[in-house]
Each structure stands twice: as structure tokens, then as C-alpha cells.
Structure 1
Amino acid sequence: MNSIKEAAVVLRHRQFRSFWTGRVVSSLGSAAAPIAVAFAALEAGGGVEWLGFILALNIAPQVLLLLVGGVLGDRVRRDRVMVVANAVSGVVQVAIAILILTGVAELWMLAASVFLLGIASAFFQPASQGSIVQLVPAELRVAANAVLRLPLNIAKVLGPALGGLAVALVGPGWALAFNASTFLVSVFFLAAIRLPQPIKSKASAISAFRTGWKEFRARRWYVIMVAQSAATVLMWLVGFQLFGPVISHSSLGGAFAWGLISGGFAFGLVGGSLVAVAVRPQRVGVTVSLCLATQALPLVALGFVAPIWVIVGAAALAGVALDISIVSWSAFFQEQIPEGLQSRLSSISTFGQLLPVPIGYILFGALSRNHGTPGIMGLMSTVLVVAALLPLLLPSIRHLRLGQVVDGDSATIPGGASKVGTGGDSR
């Protein structure tokens, strides 16, 4: 069965269609929200330091509560967790949109709203990640991930462009009001899902987390890739999400320019989904590492305030590469990690990726006062490339492939002998 036919088969599953629709609808508004929040903060008199603080407050609760969310996602019905999380997000966005539109919003109110949204995301993401395996058969998981990411990425293309245009024309309040409506509509579709109740465990939540942590540590290939991602995500988010809006506001023409750049990145994500469906890269370790290194391209272009078309093009290339890596890694993760552990291990990995980000937002925001933007962006780009490529020095990472059986520190191709180990002599 070719990839197009598999995509059609995936969408015949009614519950997957509901999940797919709910995710796509909410993502359209969410794609516009970061632009609205960033320019609401900048227009309220906040500079790069205030924006860094606000972004840090959005990430901090995700870092603190993702592990709790992961345990919860493996112990209660995941559809219920997603419904509650998106309902909370919708209500919070309604409140902050009203405050902005009525002209009474202050910087601390923006900070409080993104903090609450971060809490909701900490519970939504692990439950969402663990839902795919309950919605489609194992042989359709690669297609399901690609089918899901394609419209999500299309929404991310339209969202920033529309959000940037809305902010430029009518202000950030309306963009956030639109995001609120998409969250509430998504609740309707997600409420139509009926996922199985996880097998009840007599173990406490703490015991469940310890089991997840033990399983995480037992997979050294997983620990290495999470460490890689932690460094690259830090450099990418600080460079793109913090300095990108500030550079656009000061040197590129404002919100609409940033909407084009963000839309270009998201357009690249769409292309990456199409490539991942058609090509299906098998060498996961090499694919992920090389693709992550391309994230440095738009950071360099932004740092030196290149022409807008150059920045948009660099962002698009980075988006293509990133989505190829995400689809490949998601399929590998779902292939290797037992269903009952997926929410916990997903939350642990996301915790590791996000842990340094709040500090990074605040630290680099403060450093910007005494160091030029090109120098800071150049430093972050260099660190990103080195962190992305460093794991390829290990044969155990270079040889990670879809279809292999990875057991702890070893990787085995079905029907063959052990290919490589990650400890001792294998280094």
C-alpha cells in the first residue's frame, strides 16, 4: 500500500478524524497567538527583557508539570485530559483578549495568561502524544503522524500570516480572540473521542513516575537524543521566538514582517510533511541530527538582518528539515516505546528539552543589553550546529533505523545480529 492510500485509510477511522479535526482547528489560532502576544508586549512598552520573561513564564509550568501530565496521561482517559486542557486554554484566551481589546491589559496580565496556558499545555501534550497508538493500528502510525502534521503545518502557515496581518491592521486583541474561539471549537471535536480507560494500576503516581524514569534511563540512545534536543531547542526558541519578533519590530517593519517569516517557517513544515510521507527516511539518527543542524540558517539570517526574502527562505528550509525529523522520530518513538509508557516517556523527554529554556529566555534577554544581536545570534547558531551533529560521533546513534529492535543499549535489525551497542567498546 502506497503512502497516499495509507493516508486515506487513516482518515477512515472516525475517532482519528475527530482527533485530527480538533487538533487542526486549535492549531490555526495557536499559530497566530505568539505573534499577538509578542507584539502586545512590545506595544505595551516591554522590551526584549520583558518579552523574554513572558516567554519564560509560558515554558516554566510546562517544565514543572509535564512529568505530572505524563503520569496522568498513562493513568486516566487521554481524551478527557485533552478536552479539559483545551477548555481551560479557550477561557484564558477569551479573558486576555477582552482585556487587550478594552485597553486595560498590562504586562503582568499577559504574563499571567501565558503562565496559565503553559499549565494547560503541560497536560495536553503528553495525552495527545499517547493518543495516536489508541486511534490507529500499528501499521498506520507513520501515515497517521504525517497526515496529522500536514494540516497542522498548513495551519501554521496561515496562522502567522493572518496573525501578523491582524496585528498590523486591528491589533493583537482580535488575533487572541480568534485563538480563543478555535480552542473552544476544538473541545467539541475532541469530546467526540472515546479512548479506552488505561489499565488501572495499584502503583502510586510517584511509583509510576519512577518506573517511567527507569525505562527512560535504560534506553541510552533515547537519553542521548533528548540531550541533543535540549541544546538545539534552547538555541532555536531563544533565537527565533525571542529575538525574531524584536528584530522584526525594530528593523524589518513590524508584525506583518514577522508573520511572513513565521509563515515561511511553517510553509517549510508543510513541505517536510510531504517529503516524510513520500520518502520515509529510515536512518533516524542521521536524519534527525542533520535536520536539526539546519535550524541555524534563519538565526544567522535574522542576526545579520538579511533581506526579508532571505530570512523567509532560510526559515522555510529549516521548517522542511525540522518536520522530516519530527515525523521520523515520532514513528521511531511509537515503534520502540510500549503504549503504556508513551505518555510518561514523552513527558520526560519534553521536560528535558524545555528545562533550560526559561533560563535561556531570561539570560539571553539580559545579555542583549551589553552585546550586539549579531554576536548573540552567531553564538547560538554555532552551539545549535555543534549540539545537533555531535551525537553522530556515536555509531549507536548513526545506526538507529526504523524497523530495528532497540533493546536498552543495543540495536538489532530484525532477522539479523546485534548491530551496535551504545556502551563500552561501541564508542
Structure 2
Amino acid sequence: MTFRRPARPSWAGRNYTLLTAAAVVTNLGSHGALIAAAFAVLQSGGSGGDVGLVAAARTLPLVLFLLVGGALADRIPRHRVMVAANALNCLSQAVFAVLVLTGEARLWQMMLLSALGGTGQAFFNPAAEGMLLSTVSGEQANRAFALFRMSMNGAGIGGAALGGAMIAALGPGWVLAVDAAAFAVAGAMRAFLDVSHVPEREPGGGLLSDLREGWQEFITRPWLWSIVLQFSVVVAVVGAAESVYGPLVARDELGGAGPWGLALGAFGVGTIAGAVLMMRWKPRRLLLVGTLCVFPLALPSAALAVPVPAWALCAVMFVSGTAIEVFGVSWMATMHQEIPEEKFSRVSAYDWFGSVSMLPLATALAGPVESLVGRTAALWGCAGLVVAVTAAVLLVPDVRRMTRRPAGVKAGGAAGSADAESPVGRLG
């Protein structure tokens, strides 16, 4: 008897499979490394403010170089940008691991290495998102995005839980070493991506001209810039709560890195549940449903402010993970539907830039704000800001009315000016 290998679905081609597998590998390492970096600072005698400085050092170059990274990824083969960025991340995490393992890590060294890692991510993120968006097509795009995110976030569950356990048993240095190895493996996989399907770019007027074209795509779409503005606040306050206040609450109230790792793992389980839901559910009002699901991101900050027991924090993180995954898949489907392929990376760069622009300031100020008003008040403030900006973005008509169109039906004009009452229009 012969067994036939099950055929892959048409939307799960070679590039999609490589992208998904590489994302799984990197997320196994990076989710634990985020926890390890915070506890490496605390282990070296640093304070909550020092944890914030190291986190800010990573996000500052991310903000500075994102736009350049997006323009570059739309100009040269995206997989080359991805591999080079992975190599930089591998090197910086390897040196970070050696310093922590030998007990020689100093605050300025950890900040410098975190900055190098952020630089790599600035070039990687727009290229990776553009590559994924250009790889997927057809009616199954929603399912493809959901499965990709489910695989990626599923790896994050294991990475966060394993990272927390390894920190408790072996210390943060070994977790950073695992992350460096993961970047090396993922970079090797991404080197085999095929970009022959991507049309050759027409000669342009240079980097500044490319950036201006990306800006025009961005600013002429109210749904795009309004949600990016919303997430500039949401990412900042959630990032401060998770990278600075979360480890401190875990240390003082929950018993250390292990419970905090489990809480982050519960968030990952929630994202898997959300992805499974989105593989079956294709909401017609893409952005309205997605935006409503941002409100639960206020719950983890509120839970840390109380603070609730570890099991309750895990439950809250699960709910917020499920909700944000509904937003994430809806957002990717909207970008795939509305943005021209040759501008994917540039528009993605403006999206990333706006979304993380306030994160360095928020993480750097997290420690001083805690000293000024107290940790509890700071966490309640984070929760309140998430609710306020999410309610505000619902006032934008395009956000409330954006609808899913059949595959192959493109938006009319640069801003997607289809008839608002048409069943195939962008608004409905």
C-alpha cells in the first residue's frame, strides 16, 4: 500500500510555508528573550527605570529606521533585507548572552545591544510584512493570514513559558543564547524564499521619492492613519505595562519570572483561539469588528493594577490575546485588499512607524512615572488610555463602514473611492 502525501492548499505555497516556519522559529526564541532581557537588567542590580531604558534603547532605532527599511524593501528583493536583519539580530543577541552569562553585562552594553536588535527589526518588519502580503492571494487570504498568525503566536506560547522556566532554572543568559540561535536558523530558511513572482520595480527617483509615494498612500486613507494614531498610544502604554510594570509586579506580587511567563503564554493561547476563530469567520465590517476588539487590551493593565492572582491574570491575558488576534487578521486582510503590492512594504513601514513611535518614550518614562504617581495609578492610566483612544477612532466613518470585497475586486483610486453603497465597494 502506498501513502500519498496530502496536497497543500493552493494558498500555502513554498514561500508561505517557509515564511510560516521561520516565524515559528524566531518566535520560539524572541518571546522568552523579551522576558530574559528585563530580568537580566534586574539581575545585574538595575531598577525598574533601567528596565525601561533598555526597552527604550531597542525601540528608538526601530522608530528611526523603519521608514528607510520600508523603502528599501520595496526597492530590492525583500528576502535579502530579511536575511541581513536576522544576521544582525543573531549577532547582537549572542553578544548579549555572553555578557550576561559571564556576569559582565553593564547597563550601557545592554542598551547598545538592544539598540542593534531594534535596528535589525526596523529593516525586517516592513520587508516581512510585504513579503507575506505579496505571497497570499485569492478567497483564502483571510484563512492564510489567520493560520500564519496562529503558527507564529503558538510558538510564542512555548517560547514565553519555556523562557520563564529557563530564567528561573538557569538564568536569563541561556534564553538570550537560544534566541541568537533561532535567528540564525530562521535567517537561513528565509534565504530560500523565491521572489521571482514579484514584478520588477520601475526605476524611481530615489529613496526620498519612494518615501513620498508611501506617504501619499498612507495619508489619503483616513481608516489607515486614524488606526495607526490609535495604536501609537495603545502600543506605547501596553508596551510600558508589559515590559516594565509586568516584570516588577511579577517579582513583588506573583512569585517571579515563572508566573509572568505563564501569563504571557496565556496571551499566546488566546491569540491561537482568535486565529482559529478567524479561519472560519470572515466579518463583513472588517475594521469595525477589529477595532471593537481592541478594548480588551485595557484588561491586563487593570489586572496588574489590582493586582489579581496569577490565575486571574492568565485568564485576562487569554481574553485580550483572543480579541487582538481578531483585530490583527482583520487588519492584514484590509491592508491586503486596499494597498497596491508594489507599495506594501512602504505603507507597512508607515504603519509600524506610527504604531511604535511613542513606545521608546513610554518605556523610558515608565520608571519615573511610577516614582511620581505610584505603580497602581500608572497602570490604571494605561488602561484608561487604551479605552479612550479606541473609542475615539470609532468616530471615523471609514473605520465603521469598511467592508470586505470579493477576491480580485480592487479599490477604486488611490484612496479606494468606491461607491459607498456598492456590495463590492470599500465602504458599505
Give the TM interval when normalised to the shorter protein: over 0.9
**Could you tell me how far 1:226 is from its partner in structure 2?**
1.1
Partner in structure 1 of residue 3 of structure 2: none
Select the residue among 377, 396, 403 that pairs with 1:394: 396
Secondary structure, in 3 states, of the residue corresponding to 2:394?
A: helix
SS at match of 1:369: helix
Match for residue 76 of structure 1?
76
Using the alignment, how far apart are the partners of 1:378 and 1:412 within structure 2?
43
Q: Does 198-207 or 405-414 show the bigger shift?
A: 405-414
Once the two structures are superposed, what CA deviation does each residue of 1:190-215 show, in whole Å capped at 9, x if it has no partner? 11112136414231110110111112
Match of 1:271 in 2: 273
Counterparts in 2 of 1:76 and 1:302: CA distance versus 1, 3 Å: same
Question: Structure 2: 5+ residue runs without aligned partners?
Answer: 1-5
Q: Which residue of 2 aligns with 1:182?
A: 182
The aligned counterpart of 1:129 is: 129
Tell me whether 1:106 sits opposite 2:111 in the alignment.
no
Residue 55 to residue 351, structure 1, CA distance change in 2 (3 Å): same
Does the alignment pair 1:344 with 2:370? no
- Most deviating of 47-56 and 385-394: 385-394
Matches within 5 A, 1:24-423: 24-196=24-196, 198-403=200-405, 405=411, 407=413, 408=415, 410=417, 412=419, 415-416=422-423
Q: Distance in 1 between matches of 2:403 and 2:381?
A: 32
Equivalent position amino acid for 1:256 in 2: G
Distance 1:275 1:420, change over 3 A: closer
Instruction: Assess, with a 3 A threshold, how the Cα gap between structure 1 residues 341 and 189 changes in structure 2: closer, same or farther.
Output: same
**Which residue of 1 is the match for residue 11 of structure 2?**
10
Tell me, yes or no, if the aligned pair for 1:400 and 1:411 is still in contact at 8 Å: no
d(CA) in 2 for partners of 1:419 and 1:108?
Answer: 49
Aligned length: 416
Q: 1:59 offset after TM fit, Å?
A: 0.5
Q: Work out whether residues 6 and 140 of structure 1, in 8 Å CA contact, stay in contact via their aligned partners in 2.
A: no
- The Cα shift of 1:406 comes to 6.5
Q: Alpha carbons of 1:294 and 1:6: their partners in 2 closer, same or farther (altered >3 Å)? A: farther
User: What SS does the aligned partner of 1:302 have?
Assistant: helix
- TM-score, normalisation: structure 1: 0.93
- 1:233-255 per-residue CA deviation (whole Å, 9 max, x = no partner) reads 11211122221111111221111
Question: For residues 47 and 286 of structure 1, do their structure 2 counterparts lie closer, same or farther at Cα, with a shift above 3 Å needed?
Answer: same
Q: Distance in 1 between matches of 2:338 and 2:397?
A: 19
Q: CA deviation at 1:304?
A: 1.1
CA distance in 1, matches of 2:249, 2:172: 18
Give, in whole Å, the separation in 1 of the partners of 2:32 and 2:251: 16
**Pair 1:411–1:77, CA change in 2 (3 A):** same
Q: CA RMSD in A?
A: 2.0
CA separation of 1:410 and 1:96: change in aligned 2, threshold 3 A:
same
Over the matched positions of the two proteins, sequence identity in percent amounts to 33
Q: Distance in 2 between matches of 1:44 and 1:412?
A: 60
- What is the identity, as a one-letter code, of the residue corresponding to 2:324? L
User: Is there any run of 5+ residues in structure 1 with no aligned partner, and where?
Assistant: 422-427
Q: Which secondary structure state, in structure 2, belongs to the residue aligned with residue 368 of structure 1?
A: helix
SS of equivalent to 1:9: coil
Aligned partner of 1:207: which letter? S
Structure 1 pair 298–202 and aligned structure 2 pair: CA distance change class (3 A): closer
Task: Output the TM-score relative to the length of structure 2.
Answer: 0.93
Aligned-partner Cα distance in 2 for 1:406–1:249: 53
Query: 1:394: Cα distance to partner?
Result: 3.1
Distance 1:341 1:47 in 2: 43
Q: 1:410: Cα distance to partner? A: 4.4
